[in-house]
Amino acid sequence: MPYISDREISEEGIIFKFCETEETEGVKKEAEEMLKDYPELVESYEKLNKPLKTFSTNSKIMPNTYQSLIENCLDEEHYTAALQFMDSFQNEQYYPSKVHIRQVMDIIVNPKVDKDITYKSYKILQHVLCSTGSIAFENIWNFEKDHSEPEDVWPIGYDNFWMFIKDKFNSLAQNIDDTDQSSRILLLIEQIVNVFEIDIRIKKRKLSSSILLRLVTRSRTSLRIILESLILSGFSKEISMEAIRLLQRLLDQVNYNISEPAYINNKKRPSFHIEI
């Protein structure tokens, strides 16, 4: 029986190790190929390999001394040094500031940055998420402008998180021939979806405080418009199977969150699914 034995991030993107049987040696295959030929194996692997650890409730932001070293490197665009500092200082006790997390996310999709720095940035954010949980990402998408300075709102140029997400999925279709930039966008979207999934698992007894639900309730756009725009993005003929899979994971989280009583009062729970 075929199965997936491993998953890794490389300069070629997401790579799965596919085994035909338990006796055969695994073969590395790109995510796009696996999602076309074995979508059920990819889904099973992802569900079985989500981290099950209990996160510390005592994690806190890095001391100012650490933050200053990272900030100086980022300001001078010495990204390799900044990422090395962040990786060294990050642990189960300390996590980076929200400003630095946003900057690292910007690095991921910056076409001027070397590809190895892009993947290092993604891996560091994964390290933050897997060591301290979602606490480091709690307020990086704060769109309550009455309580935030414009420079504290991320992403730059957007006042609506969902328009940002829609734009990124649309960019995947527009950049179909630019595999380099498409892979960067996919990494950023995957990181965001990973944050939502971990956050929901941590707060499953109190979904009203989940990051995703707060983003839905803060949005100036109705939920119907949000979902319609996301689903329509998934029906583009040019969008990759990997992008569709990420979109499905995102819609699954939205669907799960809006069943929370804090969001709907005795309304029928909607359901969304995209066939891949």
- Asked whether residue 12 is assigned to any structural domain, the reply reads yes
Tokens for 254? 């939205």
Q: Quick check: is 27 in a domain?
A: yes
CA angle 12, 15, 17 (to 5 degrees): 145
| Residue 266 domain flag | no
Is 224 within the bounds of a domain? yes
Do 15 and 3 contact (CB within 8 A), yes or no?
Answer: no
Give which of 43, 18, 41 is closest to 245, Cα–Cα. 43
Supply the pLDDT for residue 100.
Answer: 93
131 with 40, same domain? no
Residue ranges for the chain with pLDDT beneath 70: 1, 10-13, 35-36, 47-57, 142-159, 175-177, 218-223, 226, 233-238, 257-276
Q: What is the pLDDT of residue 125?
A: 93
Domain that holds residue 17: 3-48
Contact 66, 85 (CB under 8 A): yes
pLDDT recorded at residue 59: 85
**Which of 98, 116, 210, 198 is CA-nearest to residue 154?**
98
Q: Is residue 273 part of a domain?
A: no
Are 79 and 186 part of one and the same domain? Answer: yes
Separation between Cα atoms, residue 20 and residue 234, nearest integer Å: 30
Both 34 and 121 in a single domain?
Answer: no
What's the pTM?
Answer: 0.76
pLDDT of residue 150: 38
Whether 265 is covered by a domain: the verdict is no
What's the pLDDT at 188? 92
Domain total of the chain: 2
Q: Two tokens at 171?
A: 């960019």
Domain assignment present for residue 225? The answer is yes
Residues 95 and 40 both lie in one domain: no
Q: 246 and 144 in one domain?
A: yes
Dihedral in degrees, nearest 10, Cα atoms 49, 168, 36, 124: -30
